[in-house]
Structure 1
Amino acid sequence: MHFNVAGAAVRVHPVWLLITLTVFAVLIKLGCWQLSRASEKATQLQQLASWQAEGPLDWLQLRQHPLQDMDLVQFADEGRWLSPMVWLQDNKIVQGRIGYDVIIPVQFNRFDLPVLVNLGWVEAAQNRTELPEITIPAQLSVRGVLRTSFGSFRLGQNLEPGTDWPMRIQQIELESLNPYLPEPALPAVIYQMEGSPFLSHYQPVVMLPEKHRGYALQWFLLAVAVLGVALAASLRKEETNE
């Protein structure tokens, strides 16, 4: 297959052309995905700043709005821990140490459904068979961020076999946790940000938009480099054949 580039004849093998264009397309797609993520993060930061400016809301105020519009809202209210239920979300690394996030169901005074609250982080024992001792007050003052988008990819089953509390889990998945509750939980999680007996480490937005844009630029530059290398190799090969 022959092309003319700036007056120079370039001969490219069809297979190598296909490989080059495929790699180029993948790199461009990755760059566009990073730009999309940057846009999402910018929207989240704007939403977070807007909710922070309004101050924390309680359940009476929250119930005036659709739940899907309440992501990242600042929340503050009083509730009761549904003892003895405690889930320990596994493989949480904080300050280089391995531990768990402590998840409990809370019944708020002016809301019918139980709500899952992430109280923060506790360090794991060196022996994995030993679970940390968890002490939680019966009544809680919950101050944090409400998220309607949570959970992530996991491998294997979510709940480890056993009937004793606390139970170890991989992810917060309501389908596997609801059977233990008196009623299905609200499809949201509150991350305690202050006043927790455990270490609060949750960050609503982990990676800033600028970093995503930087990654996007890297992918685009790699795409250009792939084309440049392929073109240079073809020109060199053509000159050698002559």
Structure 2
Amino acid sequence: MSIFPFKRRALRLLLLSLLVIACLVMARFQLWRAETRGERFDREQAAMIATPIALSGQQRQRDELVDRAATARGHWLAEKTLFLDNKIYRSRPGYHVLTPLRLSGSDAVVVVNRGWMAAPRLRSDVPSVPTPAGEIEVAGVTRAFETRIFELEESEPEGPVWQHLREADYRQRSGLAPLPVILLQTNGEGDGLARDWGSADDPRTKHYGYAAMWLVFALMAVAYGLFAWQKK
């Protein structure tokens, strides 16, 4: 009796087992993503309605500041305004306008994302946005600087239009000492900027769907294996 059919069946069983394990691992990964992103979503939504904290130059602990409702009082540094490129709002390309606010009674600044504006017709044109003078109070919610960025080719920020906003780059190129968070502005009118920061989509729903898909793939693989085994 030849042993080759047995070896082929054993190889099929091994490959099928690896496929099922891979599907289960991917399902577990999606459940983990649902948990972690869901917790972040809950914090962000809670920050929108929580009692705000007042930002000051003495606050330097990122974990105590991120994802919080906050207010900041100070003066705009309009000459330091940056435009974060490739931001889509209602299917239109544009920029996020970022201006540092020097906090009253301090040399520290907080970078404020003032909102979205449409890109000019010619990409070579530098956008402009009205910036009031004098002391103002900005209300909003805090977010972390960008940390993990995948780029095919690392690019250095040049001019007022940037592709990414990383804290180390900003400190080096602006010469300022920002707080370790960005403030997404929610108040203010008359500057033509869109400030639609809220998201009604809970990311858990998407990841639960992906997890269910991988579980279905695993069940299909098991069903195929049982069918093939009985056929033999």
Same fold per superposition (TM over 0.5): yes
Give the corresponding residue for 1:79: 74
Q: Distance in 2 between matches of 1:119 and 1:201?
A: 11
Q: Distance in 1 between matches of 2:212 and 2:219?
A: 11
Q: Mind listing any 5+ residue stretches in structure 2 that lack a counterpart?
A: none
- 1:115 matched to 2:110? The reply is yes
- Go from structure 1 to structure 2 and tell me whether the alpha carbon gap of 1:170 and 1:232 turns closer, same or farther (over 3 Å shift): farther
User: 1:189: Cα distance to partner?
Assistant: 0.9
Q: Mind listing any 5+ residue stretches in structure 1 that lack a counterpart?
A: 3-8
Give the corresponding residue for 1:172: 165
- 1:20 matched to 2:16? The reply is yes
Q: Distance in 1 between matches of 2:119 and 2:213?
A: 38
- 1:217 matched to 2:212? The reply is yes
Q: Distance in 2 between matches of 1:39 and 1:211?
A: 12
TM-score by length of 1: 0.77
Q: What is the letter of the counterpart of residue 188 of structure 1?
A: V
CA deviation profile, 1:67-92 (whole Å, cap 9, x unmatched): 31332110112221223112211111
Q: What is the letter of the counterpart of residue 36 of structure 1?
A: W
Q: Distance in 1 between matches of 2:72 and 2:96?
A: 21
Q: What is the letter of the counterpart of residue 12 of structure 1?
A: R
Secondary structure at the aligned position of 2:177 is classed as coil
Q: Distance in 2 between matches of 1:37 and 1:95?
A: 27
- 1:145 matched to 2:141? The reply is yes
- Go from structure 1 to structure 2 and tell me whether the alpha carbon gap of 1:13 and 1:124 turns closer, same or farther (over 3 Å shift): farther
Q: Distance in 2 between matches of 1:159 and 1:54?
A: 37
Decide which of 51, 54, 59 is 1:58's aligned counterpart. Answer: 54
TM-score by length of 2: 0.79
User: 1:53: Cα distance to partner?
Assistant: 5.5
- 1:93 matched to 2:93? The reply is no
Give the corresponding residue for 1:181: 174
Contact map agreement 2:57 2:108 (CA 8 A) in 1? no
Contact map agreement 1:141 1:195 (CA 8 A) in 2? no
Quick one: percent identity of the two aligned structures?
22
Aligned length: 226
User: 1:205: Cα distance to partner?
Assistant: 7.9
- Go from structure 1 to structure 2 and tell me whether the alpha carbon gap of 1:228 and 1:72 turns closer, same or farther (over 3 Å shift): same
User: 1:158: Cα distance to partner?
Assistant: 4.2
Q: Distance in 2 between matches of 1:116 and 1:92?
A: 17
Q: Distance in 2 between matches of 1:46 and 1:61?
A: 27
User: 1:45: Cα distance to partner?
Assistant: 4.3
Q: CA RMSD in A?
A: 3.3
Contact map agreement 1:106 1:114 (CA 8 A) in 2? yes
